[in-house]
Amino acid sequence: MNKTQNNRAWFLVLPVFALVAFSAIVPLMTVVNYSVQDIFDIESRVFVGVEWYREILNDDGLRQALLRQFVFSFAVLLIEIPLGIAVALAMPQRGRWASLTLVVLALPLLIPWNVVGTIWQIFGRADIGLGGVIVTKLGIDYNYAANSFDAWATVLVMDVWHWTSLVALLCFSGLRAIPDAYYQAAHIDGASHIAVFRHIQLPKLKNVLLIAVLLRFMDSFMIYSEPFVLTGGGPGNSTTFLSQTLARLAVGQFDLGPAAAFSLIYFLIILLFCWLFYTTMMQLGRGPQK
């Protein structure tokens, strides 16, 4: 094909650039602006360079929040991705039952975050909540308001309840897109169920799984309302994740400079991990190229 070289074509990108500038770049730049100054009022502000960044990176509380955040997000991925695939595989493929299952699965996704927190706050109570009472009756000493591990586990189970459906629905759509001929060929080749999963379903699910992993990673890494409503970040700091720490810093203490520096680092971490997930998953299953 003959391609005409004309660099003026770049001007065609201008409208998009203008839109993105207003929606993302300009607001981001104001954050950058805050992160390198110490502002007292509109008249008096001091350029401080990377001081806020240094302060943030050396803050023990923040480091612990970051660690908690990673442990939580990876736990979310480790549970929700396999569970979502399993649910999608077990779902009826077509007919009335398939539609019904889809509706039931979509229900948790329709509930607002803070409502989910409220539901679980009541559900998990050891005195009147259905879940809490059952766990206590099983002889487990459970109290999410007092025990750090219980609180952490409750937030995790809540997230699994809220978001596994998303993974399942994505996988279901991916599975439905596999032509019947693949399964028929596998039958003829005498493939076992495991081989069908390993060599047909999993490779064909790669793209939807990539989306599922990215969405779940980003979302869980930015989780705010649910633990805020459920535990308020406690007991102690055991369920205080990054976004809540940031909110305390920015809105609670009004430390806009450090908060801005923190926001940018937060943003870069998410960007870096999304890129890592993307590149590793796209490389998976490539095998030797000649």
Closest CA to 233 of 59, 61, 58: 61
Residue appearing with tokens 């979310």: 76
Asked whether the beta carbons of 196 and 183 are under 8 A apart, the reply is yes
On the CB side of 152, CA atoms within 13 Å amount to 17
Alpha-carbon gap, residue 215 to 165, rounded angstroms? 13
Stretch that binds another protein, among 14-22, 131-139, 253-261, 280-288 (CB under 8 A): 280-288
Residue from 203, 251, 278, 282 binding another protein (CB under 8 A):
203
For position 283 contacting another protein by CB under 8 A, the verdict is: no
Burial of residue 152 (CB within 10 Å: 0-12, 13-18, 19+) is: buried
Q: How far is the CB of 92 from another protein (least distance, A)?
A: 17
Residues 151-180 that bind another protein (CB under 8 A): 179
Residue from 49, 112, 190, 236 binding another protein (CB under 8 A):
190
Residues that contact another protein, how many (by CB under 8 A): 22
For position 289 contacting another protein by CB under 8 A, the verdict is: yes
Q: How far is the CB of 195 from another protein (least distance, A)?
A: 7
Residue from 185, 271, 276, 282 binding another protein (CB under 8 A):
185
Segment (H or E) for 39 = strand 37-39
Residue from 7, 10, 188, 236 binding another protein (CB under 8 A):
188
- The phi, psi pair for 237, rounded to 5°, reads -115, 15
For position 200 contacting another protein by CB under 8 A, the verdict is: yes
For position 90 contacting another protein by CB under 8 A, the verdict is: no
Q: Which is nearer to another protein, 137 or 187 (CB)?
A: 187
Angle between helices 256-283 and 202-221 (to 10 degrees): 170
Alpha-carbon gap, residue 96 to 94, rounded angstroms? 7
Helix (H, G, I), strand (E, B) or coil at 174: helix
Q: Which is nearer to another protein, 182 or 224 (CB)?
A: 182
For position 95 contacting another protein by CB under 8 A, the verdict is: no
Residues that bind another protein (CB under 8 A): 179, 181-182, 184-185, 187-192, 195, 199-200, 203-204, 285-290
